[in-house]
């Protein structure tokens, strides 16, 4: 049963986005309420439909208003650098004029299907399937990356008119996910690659780099820009006239308040780009995590509890019990970020004894606890050690900052479904 919703209609003027409410449409249903109210309304509906099939499934609440706030924050601090987004909150960002960094045929198709022009897409996968290159050619998605000579030969065969961007290797040792292990041309190979492209009569138009996902050092961006400037100069000596710089990703989201923040990155990246590159060079970025990390909140239902030290060796009841909680989303689903993105997630109590607790501290004793996903695999542990009040099956936990590398990489291992997403817009 669907709750009555309002739909957000995105129809932006040239200087931004315009929003109005309209009757529900099949495109996207969006609440215009605080996140807490969306959670409470859904949980109230579950209580009233208590025996309906699968009614207690885990679900996300995604705040499009947070995406908007992040967009305007980006435009304020890095106005010259165009965000090219990894396509998750596609329709909203398309309306804001963002470009899209796509890794496959399916992602290109997803973006084209919402009306994005091919000129706003970069096929930023340095190793591409031949049939995907042919598809890009058919759709006039001409801009794509490479980092080796074999890829140039492939592109020459399937899309010789492409506009190529050389992805160089930079220092990503200060990042949680070091993408340089897989992609990026070492600087000593640059001349050979550019000469190979010239011999094949291919059109190289610029340089890209990626300092790694979850970068922990803002100066890594500045160092990478210096390397890119050197490649621009080297290419110019070979007769090229590059007009595109892609500064990649690794930007922290709004959830990062200490250490490396977006403000610190912008203070390094913006000035060095302006100093080293004239205004006729187009500068783009791939800020996937930045836009959505803080926009998604996931709630999971406690489906079971086990007291791991119910009795002592003397068969007396334990005076300080420890609990294992089992919830209905896990490492093979939305929490794959723990493995793939090195995230540390923190459970909070959403509903306890039918009392709604969003944003509140639970004034009860806290016990040593662990939280486990629903599959039969022992790797499916979300929290090995955390402090929680004593909870019962049927209570709910929630996890904030779950927008980056979560549901997009979820599987359905052991037959468990991917979590549903409810949308709201808190932008004012």
Q: How many CB atoms lie within 10 A of CB 257?
A: 7
Report the alpha-carbon distance of residue 325 to residue 329 in Å, rounded: 12
Helix, strand or coil for residue 116?
coil
Is 98 an annotated catalytic residue? Answer: no
Catalytic residue among 127, 337, 376, 381: 376
Residue 285 CB contacts under 8 Å (≥ 6 apart), including other chains: 78, 81, 82, 83, 84, 246, 247, 248, 249, 251
Report the alpha-carbon distance of residue 224 to residue 202 in Å, rounded: 25
Distances (CA, A) of 316 to 56, 305, 308, 313: 35, 20, 14, 7
Q: Is 297 left (phi over 0), alpha (psi -120 to 50) or beta?
A: beta
- C-alpha neighbours within 13 Å on the C-beta side of residue 85: 25
Residues 327 and 301: beta-carbon distance below 8 Å: yes
How does DSSP assign 227-260, residue by residue? Answer: HHHHHHHHHHHTT----EEE-------TT--SSS
The catalytic residues are 376
């Amino acid at each position: 049963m669907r709750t009555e919703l309002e739909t957000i209609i995105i129809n932006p003027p040239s200087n931004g986005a315009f929003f109005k409410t309209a009757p529900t449409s099949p495109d996207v249903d969006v609440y215009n309420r605080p996140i807490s109210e969306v959670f409470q309304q859904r949980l109230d509906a579950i209580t009233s439909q208590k025996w309906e099939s699968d009614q207690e499934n885990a679900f996300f609440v995604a705040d499009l208003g947070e995406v908007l706030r992040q967009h305007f924050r980006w435009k304020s601090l890095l106005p010259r650098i165009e965000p090219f987004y990894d396509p998750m909150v596609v329709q909203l960002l398309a309306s804001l004029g963002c470009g899209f960094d796509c890794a496959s045929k399916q992602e290109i198709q997803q973006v084209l299907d919402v009306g994005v022009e091919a000129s706003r897409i970069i096929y930023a996968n340095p190793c591409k399937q031949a049939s995907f290159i042919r598809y890009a050619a058919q759709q006039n998605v001409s801009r794509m990356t490479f980092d080796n000579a074999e890829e140039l030969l492939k592109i020459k065969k399937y899309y010789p008119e492409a506009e190529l961007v050389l992805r160089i290797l930079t220092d990503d040792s200060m990042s949680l996910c070091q993408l340089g292990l897989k992609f990026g041309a070492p600087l000593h190979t640059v001349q050979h690659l550019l000469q190979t492209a010239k011999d094949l009569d291919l059109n190289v138009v610029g340089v890209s780099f990626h300092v790694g996902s979850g970068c922990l050092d803002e100066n890594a961006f500045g160092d990478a820009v210096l390397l890119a400037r050197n490649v621009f100069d080297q290419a110019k000596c070979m007769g090229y006239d590059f007009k595109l710089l892609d500064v990649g990703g690794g930007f922290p989201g709004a959830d990062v308040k200490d250490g490396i923040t977006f403000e610190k990155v912008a203070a390094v990246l913006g000035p060095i780009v302006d100093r080293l590159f004239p205004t006729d060079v187009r500068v783009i970025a791939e800020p996937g995590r930045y836009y959505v990390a803080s926009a998604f909140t996931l709630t999971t239902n406690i489906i079971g509890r086990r007291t791991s030290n119910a009795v002592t060796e003397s068969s007396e009841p334990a005076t300080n019990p420890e609990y294992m909680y089992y919830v209905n989303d896990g490492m093979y689903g939305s929490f794959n970020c723990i493995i793939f993105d090195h995230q540390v997630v923190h459970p909070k109590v959403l509903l306890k004894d039918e009392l709604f607790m969003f944003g509140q501290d639970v004034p009860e004793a806290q016990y040593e606890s662990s939280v486990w996903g629903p599959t039969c695999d022992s790797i499916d542990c979300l929290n090995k050690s955390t402090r929680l009040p004593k909870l019962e099956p049927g209570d709910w936990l929630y996890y904030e900052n779950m927008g980056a590398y979560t549901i997009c990489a979820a599987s359905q291992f052991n037959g468990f479904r991917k979590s549903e997403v409810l949308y709201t817009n808190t932008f004012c």
